[in-house]
Amino acid sequence: MRKLNIIYEDNHIIVVEKLVNVPSQADKTGDIDMLTIIKQYIKEKYNKPGDVYLGLIHRLDRPVGGVMVFAKTSKAASRLSEQVRVKQFKKKYLVICNGKMEQDKGELQDYLLKNERTNISKVVVKNTKNSKLAILDYEVLKYDKELNLSVLKINLHTGRHHQIRVQLASRNHSIYGDNKYGGRGHGKQIALWAYELSIIHPITKEEINFKVIPEKIGSWKILEDINI
């Protein structure tokens, strides 16, 4: 079984650190995925016979690591999915992107259209057929003049396909290591990380917050002098 970093677990939910380059759920590659890894863990730990129930509430792109929550009961899955729908489910990301942002804080709004054949999204004009509104706000944590890279904290308001990657790339601030959308650092790990997740516990109704900062190695060494 693949290594699993469990951040929190009770009878209703399990919060884990998603590993980079591991799919959130099974895909056509047949590679081991987070859903399967966690099901194996639950089956072994609690000696459960038969199929283990585990609800997938949200996804992270395959190359992206960070915090994910899964539901251990159908009731928890239903209530967490409703939080996603009504935008009570809050996700924050860390990004290393190209160049210096024009403002230290800001909001980006675009209409995005996904090409199902190529699995790539692009910014389009409003009212384009099948396009969806994408909104995020950002704050610059650091600009490294020597590297010409910025570290951003991003609060995602909508969960569109490749949203952060597309919105930044469309403004010539592509994410470092993002080969799909033209980022510098070709062949490097994409510098996009889901570092914070806030939810309402599906049973206790308490707001709970989980945070995981990426290990400060490789591209993420740039975080060494930042307090997040």
- By DSSP bridging, strand 192-200 and strand 65-71 are parallel
Q: Which of 27, 33, 51, 61 is catalytic?
A: 61
61 is catalytic: yes
Tokens of 167: 């919105």
DSSP letter string, the chain:
-----EEEE-SSEEEEEEPTT--SS--TT----HHHHHHHHHHHHTT--SPPP-EE-----TT-EEEEEEESSHHHHHHHHHHHHTT--EEEEEEEEES--SSSEEEEEEEEEEETTTTEEEEE-TT-TT-EEEEEEEEEEEEETTTTEEEEEEEESS--TTHHHHHHHTTT-PBTT-TTTT-SSTTSPP-EEEEEEEEE-TTT--EEEEE-PPPSSGGGGGGTT---
The set of catalytic residues is: 61
